[in-house]
Chain A
Amino acid sequence: MKTLTWLVIGLALLVATMPPVLAAQGKPLNVTGVRGITFGVVFPGVPRVVVRTDAANAGQFDIGYAKFSPIQITFTLPAAMSGPAGATMPLVFGANDGGYSSPETITSQVGFDPRVAFATALDKNGRAAVFIGGTAQPLTSQRAGNYTATITMTITVLP
């Protein structure tokens, strides 16, 4: 009896030490940055909009996990892009700049506000794509040069 008891305890401890993402579902939660937002050439004082349905320039992430899993999507969105000699250029995201696509196609999206958490569920394929657009707002005095910013998307599997 004592041996079996110790075996059970040992098994419990082994389960507890397994990575949660595998222990709970047997499949890893994959989040991939597929493509960045490309504003291209912009001119001082002239805003440049990239809509989430822009196949060439919109940003894209891909999600892969267990089918039908409830998930929450949150973004860390920069307020500005960084450029030469410390220059910054405002970057704005609007209420319709996020797009969730179960079929993983840019032409079929459900719009959402990337500034707030968005809850949804994966479909029977366990995959989805998220698209994002935004607006670069160069100042009239904007310094010429290349500007960049990082956009991070976090996926949380809901209980």
Chain B
Amino acid sequence: MRISKLSLVVLALVIGASTVQAQTNNASITATAAVQTPINVVGAQQLNFGNVFPGVNKTVAATDLTNAGRFDVTGQASTPVTLSFTLPATLSSGANTMPIDTYTGISAATSAQTGGVAFNPVTGANPSLSGAGALFVWIGARVTPATNQAQGTYTANVTMTVVY
């Protein structure tokens, strides 16, 4: 038997054609990101002890919506945050100082303090922003004027830091 020249040519052409086809394959991955709303904190209301008298301690409770200090926080809805505070030990009026202590705190989702949760500002708190991305924080404390406390207006700064 002889293999015809035609069949050999056909075989050669077909094999040759099958080896020059490009081989390609691909795969995909996903890039992901979660954009969060930045945290915004506002000192909304001062902690106001009003008139105090030498030797007479005065306390403002965190539940006192009128006189307690208040911070308003906005950010990513329903997201837990960490609150920490810098709490002064004294109020100052020029060279005179007056002790302040016994800090108290309450956090709530509304400015009416509905469902408020008490916490110790010394150790901080870990509440969550509301579904609207809001949080209200109240601070109370006690001042202890000395019996010979000098007359004057005493002030100090209370600082709250909020992080996700």
Contacts and interface: CB of A to CB of B under 8 A. Distances in A.
Chains A and B come from one and the same complex: yes
Give chain B's interface secondary structure class: mixed
Contacts of A152: 26-28
Interface stretch (A100-108, A118-126, A141-149): A141-149
A9 B5 CA distance: 11
Interface of A: 1, 3-6, 8-9, 11-13, 15-16, 18, 20-21, 23-25, 29-44, 48, 59-61, 65, 78, 81, 83, 89, 91, 132, 134, 136, 138, 142-157, 159
Q: Which has the most chain B C-beta neighbours within 10 Å: A35, A143, A153? A: A153
B31 A8 contact: no
Contacts of A155: 24-26
Contact of B27 (A21, A33, A134, A157): A33
B3 A20 contact: no
Contact of A89 (B30, B35, B76): B35
Interface of A is mostly: strand
Contacts of B22: 20, 156-157, 159
B70 to A, nearest CB: 25
B31 A91 contact: yes
B35 A42 contact: yes
11 contacts: A4-B3, A12-B13, A15-B18, A36-B30, A81-B33, A138-B35, A145-B35, A147-B34, A150-B31, A152-B28, A153-B29
10 nearest interchain CB pairs? A39-B33, A12-B14, A20-B21, A157-B23, A154-B26, A37-B31, A36-B30, A33-B29, A33-B27, A5-B7
Contacts of B7: 4-6, 8-9
Given A8-B8, A13-B14, A147-B35, A157 B30 contact: no
A148 B31 contact: yes
A41 B34 contact: yes
Contacts of A4: 1-3, 7
B148 interface: no
A1 B2 contact: yes
Contacts of B31: 36-39, 59, 78, 81, 91, 134, 136, 148-151
Nearest to B4: A5
Contact of A144 (B8, B20, B27, B36): B36
